[in-house]
Amino acid sequence: MTPDTAWLGQSFHCEGWRDEMALRIASFDWSGTAMGPIDRWSKSLRAAVKLMLASPAPLVMLWGRPGTMIYNDAYADFAGGRHPFLLGKPVEEGWSEIAAFNRHVVDTCLSGATLSYADKRLTLHRNGQPEDVWMDLHYSPVAEDDGHPAGVLAIVLETTGKVLAEQRRDAAERAFREANERLQLALSSGIVLGTWVWDPTSGRISGDERFVKTLGLQGGIDASWPFEALAERLHPEDAERVLASMNKALYSAEGRHEIELRVRGPQGQYRWALSSGRCEFDAADRPLRLPGVLVDIHERKIAEDKLLRLTQTLEERVAEAVTARVEAEERLRQVQKLEAIGNLTGGVAHDFNNVLQIISANLQLIELATRDKPDLTRRLHVMSEAVARGGKLASQMLAFARRQPLNPAVVNPAKLIADMCEFLQRALPESIKLTTSVANEAWNLFVDRHQLENALLNLVINSRDAIHGGGNIWLEVANASFADGHANGLALPAGDYVRLAVIDDGAGMPGSVKARMFEPFYSTKAEGQGTGLGLSMVFGFVSQSAGCVDVQTQVGEGTTVALYFPRCRQAETANEDGARPRASRGGEVVLVVEDDDDVRLSTIDMLAQLGYKVLSAQDADSALEVLQMNHDIDLLFSDVVMPGTIRANELAKIASAPPYRATVVFASGYTRDIIFHEGRLDEGVVLLKKPFTFDDLARTVRHALDARR
């Protein structure tokens, strides 16, 4: 027997009473539920169901303690995939994912209370997967015929769409607020030079306070200006570009404007700025306005420019560095080569000197013994001259080897040049003009004056030889200060120097000659015209004087040879060069110490001829013995380099100290550190250069003995 559902049968034009849910409810078997068979439903329940079905709002009734679910068409829509499964189900089974929530609802309302939630968020599985749903929920009890609460009526209004929209709006508002904050920060950071708006219709531009101030425009923020008024404040090269960029923005799809420009400041100086904006269009794509901002990019632009220049010159600088390195290596090779040749030359010169000394001494002794034979005397004289030439050669070689004894003094270069000028002029033919120029207040030098004169003479003669026909030679003196030891390219330590330069407009030197010019005996001159020792000597002397030589030369243009000497801060001392003591005969006791037998014998002979009482020893050890036995020795005449355990300077120290108090004269053709410090004679040490003449020996010994008194 089908249940009696006539009470649901007639719709009376109410759609809810004949739609899907009315049919489903009528045909559903309710007998197994808390509601019991439909034909036994109470009046109240029937009324409530009809009320619910008629409502356009989603309504659901939860009946009895299990909360058996019965709902209308609108709720069926809300339930999605869960419908029609929900119909007749206890609510905790129907919506198992929110069972606890519904249990509370049913219990609360069955006790007579109501519940209301606005935008209640629940996670439902309406279509197979979890989904956040927001709802306005209103629960109220439904009475049975006897009046007690038997069910719960729920109005379920889904608000998910509204909530999500609100969330989106909130997020948008937050984003807007943040963007606005950032904009305000940027505007107040000083990077922004102002904001502006261009009205394409009127062609006028207005701007904020900063913009007006940056461009130094007249008028307030309400004012506007034609572009020409702005153009006057921009760099002349930029104005046209800026206008073109703004115009382009009006007709491009994106409407973007961006350009770097220079704005003139109040003092006329320009600053780099970036102008950028985006055109706004109306519905018909007509340009409405172009708002923009002016940003300070000066520092960045300057840094970029610098970087650009840096990269552009990088290649050049690498090439320069490589060249400098190659040159430095070449210089080093050159120095090493000269050093090696110097050692060799110095050694040869030493032996050569000793040989000359023997010849010279014996020649002079023969000369003394044969005064009455004029024929022989003449020949002896020729031989003496040859020995003297050889001696000069040896001393030039020693000069190159930086082993010549120097006798430095304070020299005023201005005076030196003035003194030399006439003499130099005489060495030059009339076709060559010598011009000297000495800087005001040229600093003093501390050098061997004689050697410096010699060096300058050598340079002038080299220039003379390089000038064919007529030409010029300039002699220049100037001060030179180097702050950075390497910047000068001369391998000189930083400091103050005096530069003496001999410049000519002669033939100049090709690279092959320049590379070898300092080598001793290197000469391009015809046989007998040059020994090739000139520049060698100059090089040795200048190096030994803590200076350096710089040669710049160009074939066909000329040559500059510059000598740099360290500045001396002392005033020039009186010229002591004056009268030399003349040789005179003495009766004093002289001890000669010399390891070379021939040299020793000839020296003894000469001293004896001069009237001295002569003792001798062949090394320092035996000299010390002689010294100890003869306390009356007045003068020790000693070679510098000798075999034995005692060195010459140690012997000299003993001899000059009490009780002997002898005067010391060294004889040497080749000097090492023992009597020199940095190439200079120790204070009070007398040196006689080998080979010496009879006269040199007489004068030196006499002078040393006289100075003792």
Ligand X SMILES: Nc1ncnc2c1ncn2[C@@H]1O[C@H](COP(=O)(O)OP(=O)(O)OP(=O)(O)O)[C@@H](O)[C@H]1O
Options 306-314, 316-324, 528-536, 592-600: segment touching ligand X (CB under 6 A): 528-536
Q: Under rule CB under 6 A, how many of the chain's residues touch ligand X?
A: 23
Distance CA 196, CA 212 (A): 9
DSSP 42: -
In this complex, which beta carbon is closest to Mg ion, that of residue 94 or of residue 520?
A: 520
Per CB under 5 A, 151 contacts Mg ion: no
Answer with the entry of ligand X, Mg ion, none that 509 interacts with (C-beta below 5 to 8 A by kind).
Answer: ligand X
Which is nearer to ligand X, 167 or 437 (by Cβ)? 437
Query: Rounded to 5 degrees, what are φ and ψ at 692?
Result: -110, 155
Residue 517, contacted partner among ligand X, Mg ion, none, CB below 5-8 A by kind: ligand X
DSSP label of 638? E
C-alpha distances in Å from residue 78, one per residue of 25, 127, 133, 194: 17, 11, 11, 55
Q: Give me the helix-helix angle, 43-54 and 20-27, nearest 10°.
A: 150
CA–CA distance, 617 with 626 (Å, rounded to integer): 7
- Element holding 157 (H helix, E strand): strand 149-158
Q: Does the protein bind ligand X through residue 474 (CB under 6 A)?
A: no
Contacting range for Mg ion; rule: CB under 5 A; set: 258-266, 301-309, 378-386, 527-535 = 527-535
From residue 385, alpha-carbon distances to 165, 366, 379 in Å are 122, 15, 10
Closest to 91 (Cα-Cα) out of 131, 61, 47: 61
Identify the sign of the CA torsion 603, 605, 609, 612.
Answer: positive
**417 vs 435: CA distance, rounded Å:** 11
Residue 463 near which of ligand X, Mg ion, none (CB within 5-8 Å, type-dependent) = ligand X
When the beta carbons of 273 and 535 are compared against ligand X, the nearer one is 535
H/E element holding 567? strand 558-568
Instruction: Assign 453 to helix, strand or coil.
Output: helix
Measured from the CB atom, the residue of 462 and 602 that comes closer to Mg ion is 462
Helix locations, 42-159, DSSP H: 43-54, 73-79, 91-94, 99-110
- The 479-518 site mask, x for binding ligand X (CB under 6 A), equals -------------------------x-xxxx---x---x-
Residue 516 CB, nearest distance to ligand X (Å)? 8
CB of 459 to Mg ion, least distance (A): 8
Residue 603, C-beta contacts closer than 8 angstroms, at least 6 positions apart: 361, 592, 594, 637, 667, 697
**Which does residue 412 bind out of Mg ion, ligand X, none, counting CB within 5 to 8 angstroms by kind?**
none
**Nearest CA to 360 among 667, 14, 707?**
667
Binding to ligand X, residues 542-581 (CB under 6 A): 559
> Candidates 176-184, 414-422, 530-538, 695-703 — which segment interacts with ligand X by CB under 6 A?
530-538
Distance separating alpha carbons of residues 95 and 103, to the nearest angstrom: 11
Nearest CB to ligand X, comparing residues 504 and 619: 504
Torsion sign, CA atoms 328, 330, 335, 339: positive
The CB-of-537 to Mg ion minimum distance in angstroms stands at 9
Write the DSSP assignment of 332-386 as a string of letters: HHHHHHHHHHHHHHHHHHHHHHHHHHHHHHHHHHHHHHTTT-HHHHHHHHHHHHH
Q: Min. distance of Cβ 550 from Mg ion in angstroms?
A: 17
Residue 525: name its binding partner from Mg ion, ligand X, none (Cβ under 5 to 8 Å by kind): ligand X
The option from Mg ion, ligand X, none interacting with 523 (CB < 5 to 8 A, set by class) reads ligand X
Instruction: Using alpha carbons, select from 212, 207, 215 the residue that is nearest to residue 238.
Output: 215
Residue selected from 68, 102, 451, 523 as contacting ligand X according to rule CB under 6 A:
523
Least distance CB 359 / ligand X (angstroms):
23
User: In the complex with Mg ion, which residue's Cβ is closer, 563 or 568?
Assistant: 563
Q: Which stretch binds Mg ion (CB under 5 A): 202-210, 470-478, 529-537, 576-584?
A: 529-537
Among 193, 535, 590, 705, binds ligand X (CB under 6 A): 535
Q: How far is the CB of 396 from ligand X (least distance, A)?
A: 8
Residue 247 or 524 with smaller CB distance to ligand X: 524
Kind plus residue range of the DSSP H or E element containing 276: strand 270-278
Q: Which residues pair with 199 in a beta bridge?
A: 204
Q: Do residues 433 and 473 touch, judged by C-beta distance below 8 A?
A: yes
Helix, strand, coil fractions of the chain, as percent rounded to 5: 45, 25, 30
Q: Which is nearer to ligand X, 68 or 458 (CB)?
A: 458
Stretch that binds Mg ion, among 454-462, 617-625, 632-640, 683-691 (CB under 5 A): 454-462
CB of 303 to Mg ion, least distance (A): 56
Closest-CA residue to 153 (of 168, 167, 143, 162): 143
152 binds, among Mg ion, ligand X, none (CB under 5 to 8 A by kind): none
Identify the residue among 68, 159, 451, 536 touching ligand X (CB under 6 A): 536
Alpha helices in 189-258 (DSSP H): 209-214, 227-231, 239-251
- Start-to-end CA distance of the chain, whole Å, equals 167
The nearer residue to ligand X, 86 or 473, going by C-beta atoms, is 473
Going residue by residue from 406 to 435, which x/- string records binding to ligand X, judged by CB under 6 A?
A: ------------------------------
Cis? peptide before 84, omega within 30° of 0: yes
Q: Which residues of 303-327 are buried (b: 16+ CB within 10 A; e: fewer)?
A: eeeeeeeeeeeeeeeeeeeeeeeee
Query: Number of C-alpha atoms within 13 angstroms, CB side, residue 515?
Result: 7
Residue whose C-alpha is closest to residue 688's, from 592, 612, 598: 592
| Shorter beta-carbon distance to Mg ion: residue 360 or 559 | 559
Task: Based on the shown chain and the rule CB under 5 A, indicate whether residue 462 belongs to the binding site for Mg ion.
Answer: yes
Cβ nearer to ligand X, comparing 562 with 697: 562
Grouping H, G, I as helix, E, B as strand and the rest as coil, residue 297 is coil
Residue number with CB closer to ligand X (223 or 515): 515
Distance CA 411, CA 409 (A): 6
Candidates 6-14, 98-106, 455-463, 574-582; binding stretch for ligand X (CB under 6 A): 455-463
- Residue among 271 and 499 whose Cβ is closer to ligand X: 499
Kindly indicate which of the ranges 248-256, 534-542, 618-626, 653-661 contains the residues binding ligand X, using the contact rule CB under 6 A: 534-542
Q: Which residue has the tokens 């000793």?
A: 354
User: Least CB distance from residue 540 to ligand X, whole Å?
Assistant: 11
Give which of Mg ion, ligand X, none residue 546 binds (C-beta under 5 to 8 Å, depending on kind). none
- Binds 504, which of ligand X, Mg ion, none (CB < 5 to 8 A, cut-off by type)? ligand X
Task: Please report how close the Cβ of residue 471 comes to Mg ion at its closest, in angstroms.
Answer: 16
Helices 534-544, 374-400: crossing angle, 10 deg rounding: 60
Chain residue at closest Cβ approach to ligand X: 534
In the set 534, 540, 547, 558, which binds Mg ion (CB under 5 A)? 534
Among 18-26, 220-228, 432-440, 520-528, the segment contacting ligand X (CB under 6 A): 520-528
Nearer to Mg ion, 90 or 534 (CB): 534
Element (H, E) at 96: none
Q: How far is the CB of 527 from Mg ion (least distance, A)?
A: 15
Chain contacts with Mg ion (rule: CB under 5 A)? 462, 534
Residues contributing to the site for ligand X (CB under 6 A): 458, 462-463, 466, 504, 506-509, 513, 517, 522-525, 530-536, 559
